[in-house]
Structure 1
Amino acid sequence: MERILCAEALKRSGITVEVAGWVHRVRNLGGIVFIILRDRSGFIQLVRDSEFNLNLESVIRARGKLSDNAKAPGGREILLQEYEVLSEAEQNLPIAVNQDPEVLGLETILDNRMISVRNPKLLSIFRVQATCIRAFGDFFRGEDFTEIKSSKIIGGGSEGGTNLFSMDYFGRTAYLAQSPQLYKQTMVASGLERVFEIGHAYRAEKHETPRHINEYVSLDVEMGFIDSEKPLMEIERDFMAYLFEVIARENQSDLSAWNATLPNPDSCAKIPIITYEEAKGIVKKGSGTRVIDINPEAERILCDWADREMGIPMIFINEFPRRKRPFYTYPIGQKTMSFDLLFRGLEITTGGRRINDYSMLKEALPKFGMVESELGSYVDIFRYGCPPHGGFAIGLERITQKILSLANVKEATLFPRDRKRISP
């Protein structure tokens, strides 16, 4: 007999089926044993009138007849006829996987990540994250973007040489890539014009905050033949609407597990765009204090303002000062054609138009304490004809965190890496 999933079994009745999965919970009620079996699709209840002595998380294959029972999860159960032990778990699980993870501390969850990720509520985070990845690829392929994969071992910094993880590379010093920025620009100039990448990025920043990790997944976009940052914001608006629509359709049970709500996809068309100076003015009015920069508290105030004014807790900020953007950002005097997208009080995207003119690039380098020789062959992109272009990057873990309203970005990171954690 061929195995079927628990969710599929719940749609049937009165037939004999075979299911397989993990023993999630066992209740012995004086001669009748109820076993909750878990697989990738959900749960089903098995009923047995004799002893069942397997430990939780043991993996079994079970066969029995489906029977209607309004009190059983999903309204049906399997009257267990026989089962085979595929892998018996030891006693004393290091962490309970059949309880609400909110009773556990984050460090306990992460210290026991190999087992804690079996918890259905925790696992639901990464189902949502998988949808984000797939939706990103599907959307940009549909907009005629080509997917690329660039090297994560590089010879120098992508953004001026700071916050780099160094490594020995056959007797030479190499670094882990902060971003695929230079490679994205190369491929725009190659003639592909529109490219995207889904890949890891690394930042050697000594942060201890709920919003930072040192290894993260970056959803990167770069597109040619634009004259400002505005087309980038427009296409990101369209993507966010598409993303919310797909998650609402495909991850409703995962959202429910966290009591999470999504913005209405139609409201993404109303995401406001304000300048950096306008943002500081709104924050000053909301906080009553002088604003020097857009800090985390300011980001929360701005998203609350956007929610009140436009009905969506998202806001674009553009025209950042040149000193706050990388060397390759296209300048307008002391401002830049750049932007951030904030969502529920957190910056999830940074982007903008890039410098594409060789002479302008050479002029910019000394202002950032850089010399052309540090960039190696990167400058060839501009010496030999590069269209006006720009792009942005979305932090996968951050957007997952905010979709589910999680307290810490590490909760949305499968195996987080920070200043202290390099395992499991």
Structure 2
Amino acid sequence: MTTPPITDQPKLARTLTRDLGQFEGQTVKLQGFVHARRDLGGVQFVVLRDKSGVAQCVGSGLHLPLPESSVEITGTVKAHPKAPGGFEVQIGELRVLSAATQAAPVEIPKMEWNVNPETMLDYRYVSVRGLRERAALRVQGEIVQTFHTYLRAQGFTEISTPKIVSAGAEGGANLFKLDYFGEQAYLAQSPQLYKQIMVGVFERVYEVAPVYRAEEHATSRHLNEYLSLDVEMGFIEDEEDVMELENGLMAAIMAHLKEACAAEFELLGASIPAVPARIPRITLMEARQLVTEKFGHHVGGKDLDPEAERLLCQHYAETEGSDFVFVTKYPRAARPFYTHADHNPDGSLNPDFTRGFDLLFRGIEITSGGQRIHDHAMLMDSIRAYKMNPEAMVGYSEVFKYGMPPHGGFAIGAERLTAKLLGISNVRYARAFPRDRHRLTP
């Protein structure tokens, strides 16, 4: 008795739209969403969108489902100079995997030029599928990936800290309150206190996690929930060690984006900046003086206002070709209680200024950091000077009785960095589902 021959054809594997050029003249199977459709009578066009891009598909006698339907198209790849990527698929079979039951609330291919931005956010559950929208999120994903890989290569350990806390890391009133089984609690505005404690464990630590700020801002640069990329490192000399680490991190991020996200930057018409071997530094007082003398802009308050940040970045772009600048030596009133005081030339402490810094990029602050206080007596003096309750800080302050090394760190707002890199005018569009003072859904 002989075994009958196997006649089943091998299963056709899925091809991504970006790879069509490898299969010219061959039969492929595409799976994705109906991005757009046209019926010209005898000829029908479907633009199929998958995770890698879009492809033009051409057929006849087809029943075209509504846009955003999930479909599978089998057909032959042909070169076509006007098709995306230079190739199209001549449809042999179109199979609907999951039909859209009604028209999408926004026309995804046309969102850029005729959709109100607030409408895009109202219908974010579907508008986020847009090519430009997902390009921004992919770039952000690659930023986060490089943050992980670079820091691990530098000997850092990833940590995870509580997001329900009994006190704010930075004091103030910008805390979301919670009822924690009858006790007052808050959503964490920063992992700062915990990452300092963990320096006593791993010496070099980082975290990628959301943080929460109950600030009633309604600006293009603020979110009430954002993704914070936090770093803390022990056994430093001063804040220069921290700035050097961030300089290298930024260089690694930009190098990776050039390799991984060239298509996304091209789609969004954005450029990837060069990172100087040593990012320029300027003290806050010198920065204020510079923007006043060069641009006639007078800065009030204890920090740089948004216009001063823009002008300072303009200066360094014009004079040194750098999109980045560190602003250093912030006054004590402009920094949190845990920031280390600066030193005078004779080595004594200068209580009026700190070893805190900001990193500005293309006109906006993307990082705040500095050296932290590691001496217990100095820390307790600072807590009292900031009119904070020492008893409420015991869970944090006690560790400084046990030999905490000199340490410092910084935090990067992932959405703000993404927005500035890609020229996105509002930071809300650099987060999949943003939370601002007016938006709790979707």
Using structure 2 for the length normalisation, give the TM-score. Answer: 0.93
Aligned counterpart for 2:286 among listed residues 253, 278, 297: 278
Distance between the aligned counterparts of 1:46 and 1:349, measured in 2? Answer: 45
Distance between the aligned counterparts of 2:189 and 2:84, measured in 1? Answer: 47
Q: 2:338·2:379 contact (CA, 8 Å) conserved in 1? A: yes
1:161, distance to aligned residue in structure 2 (A): 4.7
- Equivalenced residue count is 421
Q: Is 1:199–2:209 an aligned residue pair?
A: yes
5+ long unaligned stretches in structure 2: 1-11, 343-349
Q: 1:33·1:52 contact (CA, 8 Å) conserved in 2? A: no
Moved over 6 A (4+): none
Q: Is 1:62–2:80 an aligned residue pair?
A: no
Aligned counterpart for 2:25 among listed residues 14, 19, 22: 14
Aligned counterpart for 1:299 among listed residues 302, 306, 309: 309
Q: Is 1:39–2:50 an aligned residue pair?
A: yes
Q: 2:37·2:64 contact (CA, 8 Å) conserved in 1? A: no
5+ long unaligned stretches in structure 1: none
Distance between the aligned counterparts of 1:49 and 1:415, measured in 2? Answer: 39
Cα deviation digits, residues 102-157 of structure 1 (max 9, x gap): 43222111011001011111111101110111011111111110011111011111
Q: Is 1:371–2:381 an aligned residue pair?
A: no
Equivalent AA in structure 1 for residue 211 of structure 2 = A
Q: Could you say which residue in structure 2 is the equivalent of 1:412?
A: 430
Q: Is 1:171–2:182 an aligned residue pair?
A: yes
Aligned counterpart for 1:331 among listed residues 338, 341, 347: 341
Distance between the aligned counterparts of 2:204 and 2:55, measured in 1? Answer: 46
Aligned counterpart for 1:403 among listed residues 414, 421, 429: 421
Equivalent AA in structure 2 for residue 316 of structure 1 = F
1:222, distance to aligned residue in structure 2 (A): 0.2
Q: 1:20·1:39 contact (CA, 8 Å) conserved in 2? A: yes
Counterparts of 1:186-335 in structure 2, within 5 Å, are 186-190=197-201, 192-265=202-275, 268-292=276-300, 293-332=303-342, 333=350, 334-335=352-353
Distance between the aligned counterparts of 2:293 and 2:155, measured in 1? Answer: 43
Cα deviation digits, residues 160-185 of structure 1 (max 9, x gap): 25311011111211100010001101
Q: Is 1:362–2:391 an aligned residue pair?
A: no
Q: Is 1:87–2:94 an aligned residue pair?
A: no
Q: 1:67·1:77 contact (CA, 8 Å) conserved in 2? A: yes
3-state SS in 2 of match to 1:284: helix
Cα deviation digits, residues 167-226 of structure 1 (max 9, x gap): 111121110001000110111012x10000000111111111111111011000000011
Q: 2:332·2:353 contact (CA, 8 Å) conserved in 1? A: yes
Q: 1:401·1:412 contact (CA, 8 Å) conserved in 2? A: yes
Q: 1:177·1:201 contact (CA, 8 Å) conserved in 2? A: yes
3-state SS in 1 of match to 2:108: coil
3-state SS in 2 of match to 1:110: helix
Q: 2:374·2:406 contact (CA, 8 Å) conserved in 1? A: yes
Cα deviation digits, residues 324-375 of structure 1 (max 9, x gap): 1111100121100110000011100000000000111111122100232120
Equivalent AA in structure 1 for residue 388 of structure 2 = M
When residues 55 and 13 of structure 1 are mapped into structure 2, their CA distance, relative to the original with a 3 A threshold, is same
Cα deviation digits, residues 60-102 of structure 1 (max 9, x gap): 1111222222332222222211122111012332001112524
Distance between the aligned counterparts of 1:96 and 1:406, measured in 2? Answer: 20
Q: Could you say which residue in structure 2 is the equivalent of 1:30?
A: 41
Cα deviation digits, residues 41-75 of structure 1 (max 9, x gap): 11122221213331111111111222222332222
Question: Structure 1 stretch 93-102 or stretch 303-312: which is displaced more?
Answer: 93-102
Q: Could you say which residue in structure 1 is the equivalent of 2:6?
A: none
Distance between the aligned counterparts of 1:420 and 1:75, measured in 2? Answer: 44
Equivalent AA in structure 2 for residue 248 of structure 1 = K
Distance between the aligned counterparts of 1:161 and 1:280, measured in 2? Answer: 26
Distance between the aligned counterparts of 2:317 and 2:41, measured in 1? Answer: 55
Q: 1:286·1:301 contact (CA, 8 Å) conserved in 2? A: no
3-state SS in 2 of match to 1:269: coil
1:289, distance to aligned residue in structure 2 (A): 4.1
Equivalent AA in structure 1 for residue 206 of structure 2 = F
Q: Could you say which residue in structure 2 is the equivalent of 1:347?
A: 365
Question: Structure 1 stretch 161-170 or stretch 64-73: which is displaced more?
Answer: 64-73
3-state SS in 2 of match to 1:44: strand
Distance between the aligned counterparts of 2:231 and 2:294, measured in 1? Answer: 33
Distance between the aligned counterparts of 1:306 and 1:406, measured in 2? Answer: 22
Aligned counterpart for 1:149 among listed residues 139, 160, 163: 160
Distance between the aligned counterparts of 1:214 and 1:45, measured in 2? Answer: 40
1:287, distance to aligned residue in structure 2 (A): 3.0
Q: Could you say which residue in structure 1 is the equivalent of 2:84?
A: 73
Question: Structure 1 stretch 386-395 or stretch 153-162: which is displaced more?
Answer: 153-162
Equivalent AA in structure 2 for residue 279 of structure 1 = A
Distance between the aligned counterparts of 1:60 and 1:303, measured in 2? Answer: 48
Q: Could you say which residue in structure 2 is the equivalent of 1:183?
A: 194
Distance between the aligned counterparts of 2:441 and 2:60, measured in 1? Answer: 43
Q: 2:62·2:94 contact (CA, 8 Å) conserved in 1? A: no
1:270, distance to aligned residue in structure 2 (A): 4.0
Question: Structure 1 stretch 22-31 or stretch 233-242: which is displaced more?
Answer: 22-31
